[in-house]
């Protein structure tokens, strides 16, 4: 979460009342085991967007423990939509499968592997793409997934401002990631096949809508 917005975000999240036992269980697990999941206000925004009647099929790059995937899949199941989700980490993939089983959702296709390779193997098109994985590969994820994005589709890029390190002092070990993310953002603004907006909440959200 961006430090400058913590008070505002706390005010917002205090208004959010979650009653789903599985969602609460995953939030507790993520906090206890330091697993990065979307913040509550980003989760609410994510659900709000995918409720759009035109968003049916979704691609998620980065499953983690299944938190955001289950939230999205639950919104599109009533539209006969499917969620394809990719995760590279063995332990997180297995935990996600347990959570998906608990959710009783039957519209989630889980893919175990490296998204830089697996996206190109998918024979499907999508109305919405959610990217929340290795920051150093964001541009690669975007370039591969936009090939599968339907016209007027949206790509939602989470944590794009990387703890605020894109505009303030950062540890030297993050130099390459910061450089790549800055270049990625510049490239999104420069594209002419869609519209891009950068929003400073959560840890930074980038939205790209492909032109009709």
Looking at the DSSP assignment, which residues form a beta bridge with residue 158?
205
Q: What is the C-alpha separation between 155 and 142, in angstroms, rounded?
A: 8
CB atoms within 10 A of CB 183: 12
Closest to 157 in 3D by CA, of 170, 176, 139: 139
Report helix, strand or coil for 206.
strand
Q: Which are the contacts of 196, defined by CB distance < 8 A and separation ≥ 6?
A: 188, 189, 206, 207, 208
| Annotated binding residues for S-adenosyl-L-methionine | 38, 68, 87, 114-115, 132
Looking at the DSSP assignment, which residues form a beta bridge with residue 179?
none
| Annotated binding residues for Mg(2+) | 132, 158-159
| Annotated binding residues | 38, 68, 87, 114-115, 132, 158-159
- Cβ–Cβ < 8 Å for 184, 159: no
Q: Which are the contacts of 120, defined by CB distance < 8 A and separation ≥ 6?
A: 144
């Amino acid at each position: 979460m961006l430090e400058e917005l913590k008070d505002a975000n706390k005010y917002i999240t205090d208004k959010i009342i979650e009653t789903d036992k599985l969602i609460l269980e995953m939030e507790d697990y993520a906090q206890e085991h330091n697993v990065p999941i979307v913040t509550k206000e980003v989760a609410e925004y994510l659900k709000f967007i995918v409720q759009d009647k035109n968003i049916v099929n979704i691609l998620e790059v980065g499953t983690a423990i299944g938190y955001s995937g289950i939230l999205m899949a639950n919104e599109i199941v009533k539209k006969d939509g499917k969620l394809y989700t990719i995760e590279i980490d063995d332990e997180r993939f297995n935990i996600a499968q347990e959570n998906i089983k608990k959710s009783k959702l039957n519209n989630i296709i889980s893919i175990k592997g490296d998204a830089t390779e697996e996206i190109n193997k998918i024979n499907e098109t999508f109305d919405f793409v959610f990217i929340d994985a290795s920051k150093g590969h964001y541009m690669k994820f975007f370039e591969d997934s936009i090939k599968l994005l339907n016209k007027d589709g949206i790509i939602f890029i989470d944590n794009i401002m990387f703890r605020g390190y894109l505009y303030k002092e950062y540890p030297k070990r993050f130099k390459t990631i910061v450089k790549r993310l800055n270049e990625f953002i510049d490239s999104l603004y420069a594209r002419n096949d869609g519209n891009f907006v950068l929003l400073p909440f959560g840890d930074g959200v980038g939205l790209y809508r492909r032109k009709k």
